[in-house]
Amino acid sequence: MRQGLAGALLVASASMVEVAEAAVEQLGMTAPRPFGYVIGDTIEHDISLVLDAGFGLDPDSLPKPGRAGRWLTLNESVLKSDERNGTTRHSIRLRYQIVNAATSVIGAGTPPLSLRIIGPDGDFPVVVPAWSFTFGPVVTPENRTVGHPPNLRPALLPTPFDTDMRTVRVAAFGLLALALVVLVVRERLAGRFATRSERHFDRAYRRLQRGSSGRNPADAFAAALVEVHAAFNATAGRAVFEHDLARFFAEHPRFESARTGIEEFFAESGRLLYGADGDAPANVPHLGRLRDLCRTCRVLERRR
């Protein structure tokens, strides 16, 4: 009976090998050097498996991350698959790490890997053999003195390099950046103050508002005429008279929309200041009309 059972197992094993050979077209493993490791080092294995059409790899047969013996732990298990020319190529990456310290150079190894292949007539295993390597201690026992640091080779100091030119370049770039910032701030502030200083009618209008209270209408009107004329002169950069208003409007076209009121102002002020037909009127409506003109010009001078 034992002989019959052994014969049956032998026949089954032979048939399984034939099926595996028919299914597996290629099986290979790429491993790093088998020596020179210490605690904390990682070891990566790349396994390539090519299966014929009709056969597949069971992903559940891959090892799961976790402890893989006394010396190793499996940190990562990654499977990538793609089909080419009727075959399926599987790439398996296993990342092991040494987690125990050795007191001397010893031999260890990764556990064998059994991959389950799914075929049309059933499942069967494909075994990736174990891989052996050696690793040793970080510090040998004779260098470990209780209460004293180990006798290790001193650290290699970095080679000093000349920093003179680098310091000069950094200083030059810093001064250049500072100069650019100063120029930008200066332009911004100059533009802001120049804009405010060029608002001559705005200043004249505010003075008209303050200067009319507490004064008799004739004096207030005369002072208002002077303020408005000063605003026109400051805007033009020269004295503006009635006969050259065309030049003023050509140089400052933004005031064109108030041309009628400006021409009336110059005609009326010319009669009052230089004519022989009387003094400045004492009624307030003239002063109110002057404020309106100044307010209109204040709005127009802000346009660019």
Query: What pLDDT sits at residue 198?
Result: 63
pLDDT score recorded for residue 93 = 95
Specify the pLDDT at position 271.
Answer: 77
Asked if 213 and 240 touch (Cβ cutoff 8 Å), the reply is no
Q: What is the mean pLDDT of each run of 10 residues along the chain (304 residues)?
A: 33 44 84 91 94 90 92 94 87 94 89 91 90 85 59 67 74 86 73 58 83 66 84 88 88 89 86 59 60 87 75
Identify the pLDDT of residue 243: 87
* Cα angle 107, 112, 116; round to 5: 170
Number of helices followed by number of strands (H, E) in the chain? 7, 10
The three-state (H, E, C) secondary structure of 263-297, written as one string: HHHHHHHHHHHHCCCCCCCCCHHHHHHHHHHHHHH
Return d(Cα 300, Cα 278) in angstroms, integer. 33
Verdict on whether the full-model pTM lies above 0.85 = no
Q: What is the pLDDT of residue 153?
A: 61
Cβ atoms of residues 254 and 189 within 8 Å: no
Q: CB–CB of 206/227 below 8 Å? A: no
Angle at 64 between CA 59 and CA 70, to 5 degrees: 145
pLDDT at 275: 58
Give CB contacts under 8 A, 24+ apart, made by 278-287. 279/218, 280/218, 280/221, 280/222, 280/225, 281/217, 281/218, 281/221, 282/216, 282/217, 282/218, 282/221, 283/217, 284/217, 286/221, 287/208, 287/212, 287/217, 287/220, 287/221, 287/224
